[in-house]
Amino acid sequence: MKHRLFLFDLDDTLLDFKASERLSFQHALAALGVAALPAGLFERYQAINLALWGDFEAGTVGKDVLKVERFRRTFHGAGLDLDAHAASGLYLEALADSVVLVDGARELCAALAAIGEVGIITNGVAQIQQRRIASAGLREHLSFVATSEGCGHAKPDVRFFQHTVGMARAFRHAETVIVGDRLDADILGANRFGIDSVWFNPDGAVNGGAARPTWEVARLRNVTRTLGLTTHA
């Protein structure tokens, strides 16, 4: 049976989060008086941020804490006397406007919306994600946006996916597929919920974990062919 409900991760699947993240980090620190980033500072931030998001998805840290703590730890480790709360606000404001689309994202959403229903599934900050979706020109192709904040649980928790499909016009396990870049959140979540998944893996990473994607693609333009769908886009 062909798929009719398409659930997309947002960051690093439809939107190039890595590019937006660097631009927003640079903007925040420039606003705080740091004209040139110290060597390795952004990479330090990325590692701290990734670890904290892992804690959030495990339910051991709240999102409000995460948003500030990642800057506090980064500044403390680098010996920088900067306001972590201010940095967090500046970063999030910049992130909402620093939108870079992954190649083929808008075209794919439009094509799938013409044959079924497209929804976004994200653990990101809800208000910022909504603004980024609008800035990217994706909203017209979407039926809904499911966020961890709106649900109270994060991917890969099954309760997140139960919340998500409750937002859809129609849901059947056999007709639903998740497309995402993260094995530990998107693909593992699909496995636990009993639905198909497409691992978006543009860098050719090796899957060494427990998650098992139904399919794997390196480019978004390959998704419709991989799913055996006929579109008019």
pLDDT digits (tens, 9 = 90+) for 91-110: 999 998 889 999 999 999 99
CA distances from 92 to 35, 87, 97, 123 (A): 19, 9, 9, 15
Rounded to the nearest 10 degrees, what angle do helices 63-78 and 84-97 cross at?
110
- Evaluate the omega torsion of the peptide bond into residue 156 and state whether it is cis, within 30 degrees of 0: yes
What is the b/e burial string over 123-136, where b = at least 16 CB atoms within 10 angstroms of the residue's CB? bbbbebbbbbbeeb
Choose the catalytic residue: 9, 12, 181, 186: 9
CA neighbours closer than 13 Å in the CB half-sphere of residue 24: 25
- Give me the helices (H) in 155-194, please: 158-165, 188-193
> What three-state secondary structure class fits 29?
helix
Choose the catalytic residue: 11, 12, 186, 196: 11
Q: Is 9 an annotated catalytic residue?
A: yes
> What three-state secondary structure class fits 82?
coil
Can you give the pLDDT at residue 109?
97
pLDDT < 50 stretches in the chain = 233
Query: What is the pTM assigned to this prediction?
Result: 0.86
CA 209 from centre of chain: 19
Can you give the pLDDT at residue 233?
47
- For residue 178, count CB atoms less than 10 angstroms from its CB and return exposed for 0-12, middle for 13-18, buried for 19 or more: buried
CA separation for the pair 114, 53 (Å, rounded): 34
Can you give the pLDDT at residue 124?
87
First to last CA, the chain: 21
